[in-house]
Structure 1
Amino acid sequence: MKYLNLKNLPMLGLLLLLPACSRDSEEAATSKKEEAQLPSNRIAIPATVRSNLGITFAKVERRNVANTVRVPGSFELQPLAKHEYRMMLPAHVEFLVNQFDIVKKGTPLYKFRSLKLLDLQQAVDLAQAALTQAQSKYETAKARKTALAKANVKRAELDVQVAELKADVDQRQAQLKASTAAYEHAAQTPTGREGKPIPREAVGNWIVVLAQESGAVESLAITDGTFVEETTLILTTVDTTKVRFHAMGLQSDLLKFKNGQQVSIVPPQAGQNNLNDSIIATLQIGLKADPEQRTIDLYAMPKDLKSWSRPGVSAFLEIAKEASDGVVLAIPSSAVVKDGITHVFFKRDPLDANKAIRVEADLGVNDGRWVEIKSELGPNDEVVLNGVYELKLASSQSGTSQKGGHFHADGSFHGEED
């Protein structure tokens, strides 16, 4: 029986490990080769990372950056947007709506009752009775005159009597009309298209006042259930769709403004505001300028409204030169950051929305809010707006760019290994 030489066992083990080491080295080489073929300027930004870092995007726009005037201002109500409801006589008032309620035309707003209204109603009834009596006398005299005319009998005093009765009927009709108008005015009863009073809901001896315009209840001017005198303001409604933008332009830019010119209203660059969420409007130049401040009123009438276009909200009015020349591809200036001596921005990968591409910026004209980009950017691209500083820090280390990498869900960054 032959025994293995124990001295050869280590050599045999090395021989057995050689194939495995060879395979590991080949796989490592292949992995490094594949990594080398991957783009080196891409950073993974999945949805969880975008949420944790607050990353937002802005679309590339075609803009006339060099010939755009930007004027600060705010939204305000149009002069006809507000409607006041006042009492026309002393009365006891109770509200049927609350502040900020949305009302439509014909919605009950409040109800009231007044002793003076009974006197006005009595005047209407007396005028109606007097008119009926006058018409009866007139018809009787007119019939008698007709009968005598058929018998060829003429009486001058009868003709005078008929004329006087006709004049009395006209007078009674005028009195009834005046009494009815006074009652309807005191009762705040609106009239329809045919001049007839709009029917109201009868609630005992209460008079219900209806909304004459759609809108929102801005304020309640009195305490519910109180007694008020005539001409007292009861409540105010506003039509929130009737807003305009008011800005103050410099007189030195007056030649750049034109009535009817198409302009844009853009939100301020703060928080989560979408810079691409602009409102198209029509420019109207004010009638007077301020000689002391060297400014002129500019009004923009928006064609549609956004959720942020509310009275008092500040924004900017952008007035661009109406010309095709000078229109370039531009991105927000805040989307460009300086990394060492290089300006960079991060473009969303058009082939993978969960990746951002680091691009060295070739900048052009800058108006302080938008900047022209001359390289590696298309009209349908998006760039990182909020979160650009985090991506810059993740893509650079000690002033030199890394090959790329990815974010973890907790916001930490892991670079590619060499």
Structure 2
Amino acid sequence: MKFVTQRAWLTSMLAVPLLLIACDGSSPNYDDQREDGGEHADRQQPENLNLIDIPAPVRNNLGITFVQVERRRVEQTLRVPGHFEYQPSARRDYRTPVPGRVELEVEQFQKVEAGAVLYRIDSPGWRELQQNLAEAGSEIDQLRAQIETYGPLLEAHQEHEQSLRDVIEVWTTRVEGLEGLREAGGGRIEQLTQARAELSSARADLAQVQEKKAELTAERQQAQVGIRAAESRLNYLLDDAAAVTALGRADLLASTRSDGRALPRWSTIDRIEVRSEVAGVVAMFGLTTGAWADEKTSVVTVVQPDRLRFRASGLQSDLGVLRDGLSARIVSPSPTASGRSISISDDMTGELQLGLEGDPNERTVEMFVIPEQLKDWARPGVSAQLEVVFDESAITELTIPLAAVQRDGLTPVIFRRQPDDPNQVMRMEADLGRDDGRWVELLSGVAEGDEIVLDGGFQLMLSSSGSIQKGGHFHADGTFHEGEH
């Protein structure tokens, strides 16, 4: 009766289906299931009665996993809680460069490559900018055409000026000759007077031509200054257009065919396309398709999932041993849950970076680590623990996870896998030393590299509690029997 009660109790604790299995072979023949090497799953117990058989079917039913004994610096390790978050540069908000109606081209959580179109904007402001560009270009063309006319005009004035100079030279010679005759007592006064009048008229005409030439020169210079100003205005407008369209100036000015005409590209753009600057994932939207947005509206947020960092809060009292550049390890937060999906060894490493400020109320200081290689379980907001070894010169100790230690009353118990037979474990009283809340030192009984039961240890402890000297064995369905078969 005692044997039946114990079996029912073990079955409820192990949470596996209990079949009415007898050891006389009348039950379904689970004992004929073989491991590699042809051994029976239910074998004869060896002389050491602390050994327990755990063939593959048993390990699968009980969810047994193992962890290796490894060397760690328990006393020199600080452990603090924290969580993952995006690096400041991992998040990009795309806002509308000009007001307009938005048409979304992506879905939430969609992966996008660099250059992918996120949304399009139908904007009156863009068409106004196009109009200003067209006016600036037209003004430049007009001024250039005007400047081209100044060349022939100035050449004509130059020729006119030269002819007038020739006339003046002729009349000057005529006046001088007549004056000489007059002094000699000859010549007529009317001729001298007329010659002097013609000379004066020629000189007046030359002055007018020179004045007109100066005006034309000034107008040409003025037009050249106007071209430079118009070109500067056009360049500023092109810079505005480049900021709006995310295209370079050369791309905007590139010639394209439209209606049989060669036009600059900026004049053929109907709607503004906003493209992703980096590869990432669409995290959220600020509005829906068809909504009106202004320059302050965040339309799409794209994040880079691989740009994560770990933020933790350390005690200010530990600042004496903490410093930038220390080796740090990010470990999963829940090493005690049986059947967990995150392995205790699936951790991440990096260098410690202390925050610039502390919290005077909480008496903490921020600690940051950028993992050298991200694991699959790293997500923003996922909590974990940060381990920092502040003295790497200290002697290491043999350690195992504290979760691998079971308590049989007041006695700490571990189950070591037999090196010569992976289908057996030995129940051992754990000779424990110091612990840091996650790892505990083993003072004897194990060597580096030994495998210790992690998940499933509690079931093994229950099945062997009070029967250490009797030995026992598991059936393939997870039920345990005391004694030899």
Give the TM bin, normalised by the shorter chain: 0.7 to 0.9
What is the aligned counterpart of 1:222 among 287, 291, 311?
A: 287
Which amino acid letter does the alignment assign opposite residue 220 of structure 1?
F
Q: Confirm whether residue 190 of structure 1 aligns to residue 236 of structure 2.
A: no
Which amino acid letter does the alignment assign opposite residue 273 of structure 2?
V
Task: Give the equivalent residue in structure 2 for 1:120.
Answer: 129
Contact 2:129–2:241, Cα closer than 8 Å, also in 1: yes
Contact 1:264–1:319, Cα closer than 8 Å, also in 2: yes
Shift of 1:108: 1.3
Distance 1:35 1:183, change over 3 A: closer
Contact 2:431–2:444, Cα closer than 8 Å, also in 1: yes
Inter-partner Cα distance in structure 1 for 2:297 and 2:418: 64
What is the aligned counterpart of 2:419 among 327, 350, 358?
A: 350
Inter-partner Cα distance in structure 2 for 1:108 and 1:410: 57
Structure 1 range deviating more: 76-85 or 225-234: 225-234
Residues 190-248 of structure 1: per-residue CA shift (max 9 Å, x gap): 246x8746999x99943322111221111111122223334322111111111111111
Task: Give the equivalent residue in structure 2 for 1:105.
Answer: 114
Residue 109 of structure 1: SS of its match in structure 2? strand
Inter-partner Cα distance in structure 2 for 1:85 and 1:36: 69
Inter-partner Cα distance in structure 1 for 2:439 and 2:245: 56
Residue 281 of structure 2: SS of its match in structure 1? strand
Residue 245 of structure 2: SS of its match in structure 1? coil
Contact 2:45–2:484, Cα closer than 8 Å, also in 1: no
Task: Give the equivalent residue in structure 2 for 1:339.
Answer: 408
Q: Confirm whether residue 281 of structure 1 aligns to residue 350 of structure 2.
A: yes
Task: Give the equivalent residue in structure 2 for 1:170.
Answer: 228
Higher helix share: 2
Q: Confirm whether residue 308 of structure 1 aligns to residue 385 of structure 2.
A: no
Unaligned regions of 5+ residues in structure 2, if any? 1-42, 163-209, 255-264
Task: Give the equivalent residue in structure 1 for 2:63.
Answer: 54
Inter-partner Cα distance in structure 2 for 1:257 and 1:195: 53
Q: Confirm whether residue 388 of structure 1 aligns to residue 457 of structure 2.
A: yes
Residue 458 of structure 2: SS of its match in structure 1? helix
Which amino acid letter does the alignment assign opposite residue 126 of structure 2?
L
Q: Confirm whether residue 82 of structure 1 aligns to residue 91 of structure 2.
A: yes
Contact 1:342–1:360, Cα closer than 8 Å, also in 2: yes
Inter-partner Cα distance in structure 1 for 2:388 and 2:99: 52
Shift of 1:165: 2.7
User: Highest Rg: 1 or 2?
Assistant: 2
Shift of 1:284: 0.9
What is the aligned counterpart of 1:131 among 137, 140, 146?
A: 140
Inter-partner Cα distance in structure 1 for 2:469 and 2:386: 41
Task: Give the equivalent residue in structure 1 for 2:473.
Answer: 406
Which amino acid letter does the alignment assign opposite residue 371 of structure 1?
V
Shift of 1:295: 1.0
Shift of 1:58: 2.0
Inter-partner Cα distance in structure 2 for 1:198 and 1:268: 57
Q: Percent identity?
A: 40
Distance 1:203 1:390, change over 3 A: farther
Distance 1:391 1:147, change over 3 A: farther
Which amino acid letter does the alignment assign opposite residue 225 of structure 1?
G
Residues 99-136 of structure 1: per-residue CA shift (max 9 Å, x gap): 11111111111122123322221111121122223234
Shift of 1:182: 2.8
Contact 1:138–1:169, Cα closer than 8 Å, also in 2: no
Inter-partner Cα distance in structure 2 for 1:35 and 1:302: 49
Task: Give the equivalent residue in structure 1 for 2:482.
Answer: 415
Cα RMSD (Å):
3.2
Task: Give the equivalent residue in structure 1 for 2:316.
Answer: 251
Which amino acid letter does the alignment assign opposite residue 207 of structure 1?
I
Unaligned regions of 5+ residues in structure 1, if any? 1-33
Contact 2:326–2:390, Cα closer than 8 Å, also in 1: no
Inter-partner Cα distance in structure 1 for 2:155 and 2:475: 107
What is the aligned counterpart of 1:295 among 343, 364, 381?
A: 364
Contact 1:190–1:198, Cα closer than 8 Å, also in 2: no
Which amino acid letter does the alignment assign opposite residue 331 of structure 1?
I
Contact 2:49–2:468, Cα closer than 8 Å, also in 1: no
Equivalenced residues, count: 380
Residues 245-278 of structure 1: per-residue CA shift (max 9 Å, x gap): 1111111111111111111111112431322111
Shift of 1:40: 3.5
Task: Give the equivalent residue in structure 2 for 1:24.
Answer: none
Inter-partner Cα distance in structure 1 for 2:253 and 2:385: 45
What is the aligned counterpart of 1:372 among 435, 441, 448?
A: 441
Residues 5-44 of structure 1 correspond to what in structure 2 (within 5 A)?
38-44=47-53
Distance 1:388 1:134, change over 3 A: same
Distance 1:142 1:403, change over 3 A: farther
Calculate the TM-score normalised by the size of structure 1: 0.81
Residue 61 of structure 2: SS of its match in structure 1? helix
Residues 135-183 of structure 1: per-residue CA shift (max 9 Å, x gap): 3434554688799999x98965555444323322211111112222333
Inter-partner Cα distance in structure 2 for 1:171 and 1:334: 77
Distance 1:203 1:336, change over 3 A: farther
Inter-partner Cα distance in structure 2 for 1:86 and 1:36: 72
Distance 1:306 1:195, change over 3 A: farther
Distance 1:114 1:373, change over 3 A: same
